[in-house]
A and B are shown apart, each in its own frame.
Chain A
């Protein structure tokens, strides 16, 4: 909602028509003669070779899956194999004009793309660069196998082809010598030095990630383009459609230039759909979609129709032609682009596919149109090569593939990770746990003014950093340094410190975030680093993942924790998993800010820490004081791991009540995992998660003053990781513990902690650890919230009813065992 763009009611209702340009459909019609002018003989033969390599690779896997035997070599591969026999021309055609600055992301069916782009990169790199890449990768673990056991005749490119095929196959067979130590597997294999970015087993999930890579190039002025590959079935997925829109948004060309200060080019991304007609068995044209041709989608996203085209994917030269033209457009700043590459998957969705959804005639017809055979005929007719030459190439490939397979299944040469000998091998890859102040110290950050001049920085300078003044009188809310300020300080510092840092989400820029955390930052940080995203949670989080994969750092915001569901795959499968799935090759420095509401009813008031804590690979924190907000945000932004940063709307305006001397000035870090004793006591421990801290403090006060019970209040602050030592120490002292939070109690983090404390402190307990959470209901309206969220009195009730009966105390809530069983029976 920039003020510079006036929304004119006069124009809004103006009569007229939307005009569309024709979308080209398979318009490539160059003659062989014309083509021979464009490509050398070697180029044309190499195209054939590359297609044949892919065909053989996939045939090998198909034989292994269906016959446990390839070319006389026995092997059983229990893992998945989504093969792309039939799609070779599309993959090779796409990769032909790409170089290593161009990044490609793919799907579960991406062996062909990996090989094609890998072969293309090998061709383009000079021998020294190529050899250095292979030597440095995993300390030469992959290279040494092919160097030692295969003869490349001293040819680095031939060696590199062995390297590529072996690295990919060993990865598919879950070998430690695979490209990702065997932790990625068939659907996730990738090799970044060749511009081969992670492929994804979730249909369509690569689209927002590729978008993030393009955003990285766009915001950090990096060369090259990004290809987002997916199948036609994936165009039914929200994240794909969100990404098409996100990449097309007007502001990139209209606002990001900031009056000539910065680039105003479009997003350098090509959404390439390998349209093989089926999403598994669902026929996209005629059954599961209505667009008739995928290329039509382009017309829906921007006036340039995303330069959409439909291309014959059975002709490698037609695909090369199209991709080259799109690449040129993207480099000219005219992105994004969309290609609908028509192809066909002769192989099944997977080897277990019995093709119930298509006829034998259909498959035979496509086999008859085989792209490799057709291309071979073209080369022979054009006298580019003889049949014998081409057959020799194929024979060599079969020989090479057999050798590679023997190496990849040899347990001595290609061992699997031994988790008995190295039990922590995977555990050590779940987090990178590094402290990296700037992801790119070589560059100055793009900013609009010195940090000291940022209006918000100036405002905070004049604020009082405690909640009460020297006389104990409450500081006026307007003058008090609050939780929002605690979040803002490390963020603005990082914007100046790390040139790669970007922040976005819904209403982040002009509004300053729905709760004012980014207020008055607009003046200091340019658009391409700080912008309003469309309401596209999948694309917001997914793009941050791609941004981080490329080496950047991102803070993305979901406004309400309840919207986590809208970005479920991106948070739970992508952001959380890629560090370990890449065997530690990728870092994931993302801070995902989510705020827990209240007052806004059932879909805007939920604490979903448990969902995030359950997923391996995510760090989860939930501060509720200005100092902790500042300290944990500083740690999150210095780290290299994905952090889900929970904030509570109840306390954004709260000042510092606990830290003597107020919120620390300057750099202040609170290490992840360390809970904090907010109030010392000796009779009972109250462990809090989030904003319930203040209600726990109130309960502690009542217990002390009315009942002479001294409560120790410990604020968890972090949820993952979490160090129990301080809690154990406290419970050993008190023997009694209540775990309190605003989440619905069933399956909550509180329950998990109660169980862990029981294990760790059993002999010291004077009663069971008791959880006081919200009811297992919908969050009712604000007026009824006190019957839903835990109140100070509930904490005392639970203590009196379950651990330490208090003479004279009359509970208001029913925490009895009978009630517990009844509620559980009813699922409430």
Chain B
């Protein structure tokens, strides 16, 4: 029976061998053990001996051929036997055996793409990204970090630059929290930075702070609430502030006389703040736009005055509510206000008293603030800031007269009312305060 002779594989890594010489030709008789042909690998030479005796029926590869290992080289058998059946199938060279690289087939799982969420922002930034930001003035506060562990990397800064989100050199030192830029392509300019004080509490990726010393403190819950509300307030409303002042001579005189004799009449210690609360409660119902809530696409005008009183407490800003202020006498109002302020400062205030306000008053006058932009407590539509007293001149009967002027800063939501509406409220309030004695008699 005819048998094929294969090209042996001399070692696992050998893929093919070259036939260097044939000792026999087709038709020769071969004895078992006789050398049929010699061949070599890239390392060594070998002889292939006939596995059986017989006649060399066919030779499939000539001297010099590079024969893949295990392929048939020749056939030994008896005359008349079919050798063709052993012919190697086709001469097409096999593709190089190096298997196609087993790619880590990226079955794109969208959820695995792990979009960077706010929680992942670590504040870390690569040295390279930092250098690029310094060079381009990229607004890092607006960067969406895509590096490992929320690190801002070069491409994130490049993306800012590409979108034109940059900060001017002058503004960068003061720039602590993201602001819409007013410059070309939205560049943040120095003038864009008059953000309310509270906004500085917003967690942000701060630009390089000089000096390595700092302390990381977890935000207490109240701060988080303040932060959230303030940001929501600023980003959700069209706020602007009007400033004015009034002659505080009358209310200061009143305060003086109350101080001197109030106790004897069983009156509480009525403060300037109480007086202002009282004035507002009497004037505001004529200006329904500032005593309202803005709810999605409706405006809720109130028929009662629930005054929010901003209180500086050890925990942070709290705003307890003085309900139905329009119904209280000055002394009642004063007592109630004292009660809620005390409770807020002690931290014992009922949560029910921390909501429901229709308008808020924030008094920084005691700290010497001459003017500021209070932030509206949503969904309210306005907030009154009370400033300190300064000495001013006014002309009375052709003569310059010095008088105590107290500032008022009203921030209002332009979506709900217009500047003139707000101004009218302020004007009425000024009249009421300047003529407080008359108001009391009303």
Give chain A's interface residues, CB within 8 Å of chain B.
Answer: 474, 476-479, 482, 484, 511-512, 515-516, 519, 599, 653, 698, 702, 706, 735, 762-767, 786, 791-793, 796-797, 801-805, 807-812, 817
Q: Are B148 and A810 in contact (CB under 8 A)?
A: no
Chain A residues near B147 (CB, 8 Å)? Answer: 766-767, 803-805
A–B complex contacts, Cβ < 8 Å, 5 sampled: A478-B42, A484-B42, A653-B42, A766-B147, A810-B107
- Give the secondary structure class of B's interface: loop
Residues of B within 8 A of A482 (CB): 42
B195-241 at interface with A (beta carbon < 8 Å): none
B126 and A802 contacting across the interface, CB-CB below 8 Å: no
Is B104 touching A804 in the complex (CB atoms < 8 A)?
no
> Which one, B41, B127, B153, contacts A763 given CB within 8 A?
B127
Question: Which residues from chain B contact A484 at a C-beta distance below 8 Å?
Answer: 42
Bound CA–CA A793/B101 (angstroms): 9
CB distance from A196 to the nearest CB of B (A): 45
In the complex, chain A residues whose CB is within 8 Å of the CB of B153: 766-767, 803-804
- The distance from the CB of B126 to the nearest CB of chain A, in whole angstroms, is 4
- Given the complex of chains A and B, what is the CA–CA distance between A515 and B148 in angstroms? 44
* Complex interface: stretch among B13-21, B168-176, B313-321: B13-21
Other-chain contact of A516, B44, B114, B149 (Cβ < 8 Å): B44
Q: Do residues B12 and A808 form an inter-chain contact, with CB atoms below 8 A?
A: no
| In contact, A478 and B66 (Cβ under 8 angstroms) | yes
Nearest residue (CB) in A for B148 is: A802
When chains A and B are docked, how far (Å) is the Cα of A706 from the Cα of B105? 10
* Closest chain A residue to B126, Cβ basis: A766
Provide the bound-state CA to CA distance between A3 and B172, in Å: 84
Contact bitstring B144-158, A, C-beta under 8 A = 1, else 0? 001111010111000
In the bound complex, CA of A512 to CA of B93 (Å):
29
| CB of B264 within 8 Å of the partner chain | no
Interface size on B, residues (CB 8 A): 38
Residues of A within 8 A of B16 (CB): 476-478
Q: Are B44 and A511 in contact (CB under 8 A)?
A: yes
Interface core residue of B18, B42, B147, B149 (most chain A CB under 10 Å): B42
Checking B17, B43, B148, B151 against A801 with a beta-carbon cut-off of 8 angstroms, the contacting residue is B148
Pairwise interchain contact A763-B155, C-beta atoms closer than 8 A: no
Q: Tell me whether A702 and B103 are in contact (CB under 8 A).
A: yes
Give Cα distance in the complex from A311 to B124, angstroms.
78
* Complex Cα spacing A706 to B101, Å: 14
Asked whether B42 lies within 8 Å of A803 as measured between CB atoms, the reply is no
Kindly list chain B residues whose C-beta atoms are within 8 Å of the C-beta of A817.
149
Q: CB within 8 A of B12: which of A599, A698, A810?
A: A599
Closest CB pairs A-B (n = 5): A516-B43, A793-B104, A766-B128, A808-B108, A735-B128
Contact A767 B109 (CB under 8 A): no
Which residue of chain B is the closest to A707 with respect to CB atoms? B106
Give chain A residues whose Cβ lies under 8 Å from the Cβ of B102. 786, 791, 793
Contacts A808-B110, A810-B109 supplied; 15 other A-B pairs, CB < 8 Å:
A476-B16, A476-B93, A477-B15, A478-B18, A482-B42, A653-B42, A766-B128, A766-B147, A766-B154, A802-B148, A808-B106, A808-B112, A810-B104, A810-B107, A812-B104
Q: Specify which of B43, B146, B154 is in contact with A519 (CB 8 Å cutoff).
A: B43
Which residue of B102, B112, B127 has the most chain A CB atoms within 10 A of its CB atom?
A: B127
Question: Nearest Cβ distance between residue A574 and chain B, in whole angstroms?
Answer: 31
Cβ-neighbour of A765 out of B17, B109, B114, B127 (below 8 A): B127
Q: Which residues of B contact A791 (CB under 8 A)?
A: 102
Are A516 and B113 closer than 8 Å at their CB atoms? Answer: no
A767 and B148 contacting across the interface, CB-CB below 8 Å? yes
Query: Within the assembled complex, what's the spacing in Å between the Cα atoms of A582 and B127?
Result: 46
Contact status A653-B13, CB under 8 Å: yes
Q: What 1/0 mask marks residues of chain B from 335 to 373 whose CB sits below 8 Å from any chain A CB? A: 000000000000000000000000000000000000000
Smallest beta-carbon distance B148→chain A, Å: 6
B90-133 residues with Cβ-Cβ distance < 8 A to A are 93, 96, 101-104, 106-110, 112-114, 126-129, 131
Nearest-CB residue, chain A, relative to B12: A599
Question: Pick the contact of B126 from A474, A478, A765 — CB < 8 Å?
Answer: A765
B18–A797 touching, CB < 8 Å: no
- Residues of A within 8 Å of B101, CB to CB, are 698, 702, 792
Bound Cα distance A585, B108 (Å): 64
If A804-B153, A804-B155, A810-B106 touch, whether A764 touches B112 (CB-CB below 8 Å) is no
Residue of B nearest to A763 (CB): B127
Min CB–CB distance A736 → chain B (angstroms):
8
Return the contact of B128 from the options A702, A764, A802, A805 (Cβ within 8 A): A764
Among B106, B126, B129, find the residue whose CB has the most chain A CB atoms closer than 10 A.
B106
Min CB–CB distance A144 → chain B (angstroms): 57
CB contacts (< 8 Å) of B42 on chain A: these are 477-478, 482, 484, 516, 519, 653
